[in-house]
A and B are shown apart, each in its own frame.
Chain A
Amino acid sequence: MVWMVREMVSEILERMAVHRAPFRLEHFFYQCNRVGVGSVPMSVLLSVFVGLTMALLTGYQLERFGLVTLVPAVVSVSFTREMGPLFTGIVLASRIGAAYTAELGAMTAGGEVDAIEGMGIGATRYLIAPRLLAIFLLTPCLTVIGIISGIVGAAFISNLTLQLSFGYFFDEVMTNLLVKDVMAGIVKSFFFGAIIGTIACYKGLSVRGGAVGVGNATTSSVVSAICTVIACDSFCNIVIVTFFP
């Protein structure tokens, strides 16, 4: 995996040394469209429902202590720091990570990757770079969209069941949400994007054994990406809590 990233970086640098774009912009935009625009509906849907459920449950608990007014703060902070990045990571690992592994795996199994390499084009530069960059840059964007949808979902249900007006909800969100929380969420999501993309591409390029191999690689890619994302999330939390309290 380290080999793949190193190979890609050095191929890109060599390419730039002769003053040529490392990859074609249209390939990059195509991947961005797929990763970003394509994932918006699923990300929004998931976040709205998770936000909604969280507001409902915390509201239900806090109501007993008469602390319903805390719901906006609780939901928005936990969504920004934790749920937003994590759910976006899971959505992308299953939607895009799987697709990357499957398509690169099929290309490897069919000898297409070797053919590209054999032309002297540089397979990692041509195939991997646009994909990795797209998922790396767009995971944070999707995270922001996810966070906003989650908060909107929470506000919606709070308005219905907890009698908190939209105005009050968003005022509370604004006062309680610190720049620090937003930064924590966004920095994490950069890591997640990089992890998912790297694992997916690596698993794709190392496929052995035809169609079944592609299937196994895809499963393994999604499973390892989700596990690594969750592990990385805990690690980031520990670091954030320890060093930026």
Chain B
Amino acid sequence: MSTTSNILVEMRGVKLKFSDKVILDGVDISVREHEVLVILGMSGGGKSTILNLLMGLIKPDEGELIFKDEDLVKLTRSKLNTARSHMGMVYQTAALISSMTVRDNIGLPLQELSEKHEEEIDSIVDAKLELVGLKDVREKLPSELSGGMQKRVGLARALALEPELVLFDEPSAGLDPINSRLIDDLIIGLRETQKVTSIVVTHQMESAFFVATRMAFLHEGKIILEGEPEAFRQSDNPIVGKFLASYSEHKKDKK
């Protein structure tokens, strides 16, 4: 990978409290174009919160959130909406519109934000569904799908507008190993073929090391370690060590 590529997303000194409880206490992250950054950390540590901040859904108490050289916190709403249309997010809870069919869910951003005709939208929907390994679900309602299927429809929706930045909140949680592998391959494929930058939150170490070009570890509101996957494997930070040890112990047990 070229080391001269530009920085696409940067968080500087981001602090956030939820009713006096400090969630983020000065987070600095920067993501270069065409990178896959994996964010690791304890459950409840604020990883989803970071992604919501990047989507502009919550505002930080302090700090800057730079996306394409613009501070999301200071943008006017119409600029923010334009910025958002260059991002896609796969929510931890899928967050599909429950009253719309799968087809309309994926087609929604296309209908609202692009000039495409219904036939074009139909073919994009089909293509995206195939990409996430789903078929025969077009006319179903989200409630008629399994959790993992909903998650993948959410992913298809996030990709509908061909975003430059995709935020994945535990994309493969609740998926079987085959589909989970499919999502991992998809993340890598997006990076290699479409130059998409991704930020992935995951608890599955195997897929974390598989997709990551860089990793960051969030602990008690701060990024305590950031670097290449190799640096993580060799880290002597006790918390990171413990986190990874539980993963490799599992692996050893199986061997």
Contact = CB atoms under 8 A, between A and B. Distances in A.
B85 A119 contact: yes
* Majority secondary structure of chain A interface residues (helix, strand, loop or mixed): helix
Residues of A in contact with B, size category: 20 to 34
B108 A112 contact: no
Contact of A120 (B52, B85, B99): B85
B97 A119 contact: no
B78 interface: yes
B237 interface: no
Contacts of A110: 93, 95, 98
A112 B113 CA distance: 17
Nearest to B78: A14
Contact of B91 (A7, A106, A115): A115
B20 interface: no
Contacts of A115: 89, 91, 95-97
A120 B83 contact: yes
Contacts of B84: 118-120
A125 to B, nearest CB: 9
Interface residues of B, number: 27
A61 B96 CA distance: 60
A114 interface: yes
Given A114-B57, A115-B91, A121 B113 contact: yes
Contact of A112 (B77, B81, B87, B96): B96
Nearest to A17: B78
Contact of B108 (A11, A106, A111, A121): A121
B112 interface: yes
B97 A122 contact: no
A115 B113 CA distance: 14
B55 interface: yes
A161 to B, nearest CB: 49
A136 interface: no
Q: Which of A10, A115, A116, A117 is the most central at the interface, judged by chain B CB atoms within 10 Å of its CB?
A: A115
Given A119-B109, A121-B112, A126-B112, A112 B83 contact: no
Contacts of A147: none
Contact of A118 (B82, B89, B97, B111): B89
Nearest to B111: A24
Given A110-B98, A119-B108, A119-B112, 16 more contacts: A11-B77, A14-B78, A110-B93, A111-B91, A111-B95, A114-B91, A116-B97, A118-B84, A119-B109, A119-B161, A120-B80, A120-B81, A120-B85, A121-B81, A121-B108, A121-B109
Interface of B: 52, 55-57, 77-78, 80-85, 87, 89, 91, 93, 95-99, 108-109, 111-113, 161
Interface of A: 7, 10-11, 14, 24, 103, 106-107, 110-112, 114-122, 126
7 contacts: A107-B97, A111-B93, A112-B97, A114-B95, A119-B84, A119-B113, A121-B113
